[in-house]
């Protein structure tokens, strides 16, 4: 597709269950970012992939969160043993390259996660 695609668009789960969120970046984009946006808040950085380099995981809030990027393209964010405070919109973005400069991030529509 032409843009960043995220699935599912909505996910309702029970506390304690694991969830997987998918991001399909724009073809050819080497940089991929995951953010979390809680209601009425800005974007909280979670993890960043750049090409074949080791990901920057400095924003992951706990060891229940993990992410991988296969073949330099599709990424999956996994949340294990979900908690109610994990409820948020999870946004994925990609850019042509990482680094400083006008490397515009293109965002997906997000996955709204609700943990009951």
Partner 1 sequence: AQKITQTQPGMFVQEKEAVTLDCTYDTSDQSYGLFWYKQPSSGEMIFLIYQGSYDEQNATEGRYSLNFQKARKSANLVISASQLGDSAMYFCAMREVLSGGSYIPTFGRGTSLIVHP
Among 79, 93, 113, 115, binds partner 1 (CB under 8 A): 93
Nearest Cα residue to 72 out of 115, 25, 105, 40? 25
Is residue 91 at the binding interface for partner 1, with CB under 8 A as the rule? yes
Distance CA 35, CA 22 (A): 13
In the block, tokens 């042509």 appear at 96
Is residue 1 at the binding interface for partner 1, with CB under 8 A as the rule? no
Residues 31-70, mask of contacts with partner 1 (x by CB under 8 A)? --x-x-----xxx-x--x-x-----x-xx-----------
Determine the size of the site formed for partner 1 (CB under 8 A). Answer: 28
CB 57 within 8 A of CB 40: no
Among 26, 32, 89, 115, binds partner 1 (CB under 8 A): 89
Tokens representing 67 are: 């992410």
Q: What are phi and psi of 39, to 5 degrees?
A: -55, 125
Residues that bind partner 1 (CB under 8 A): 33, 35, 41-43, 45, 48, 50, 56, 58-59, 89, 91, 93, 98-110, 112
């Amino acid at each position: 597709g032409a843009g960043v695609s995220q699935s599912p668009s909505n996910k309702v789960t029970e506390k304690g269950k694991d969830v997987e969120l998918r991001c399909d970046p724009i073809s050819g984009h080497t940089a991929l970012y995951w953010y979390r946006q809680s209601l009425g808040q800005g974007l909280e950085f979670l993890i960043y992939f750049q090409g074949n380099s080791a990901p920057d995981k400095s924003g992951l809030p706990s060891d229940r969160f993990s992410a991988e990027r296969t073949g330099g393209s599709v990424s999956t964010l996994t949340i294990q043993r979900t908690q109610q405070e994990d409820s948020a919109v999870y946004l994925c973005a990609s850019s042509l390259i990482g680094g400083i400069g006008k490397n515009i991030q293109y965002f997906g529509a997000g996955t709204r996660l609700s943990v009951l």
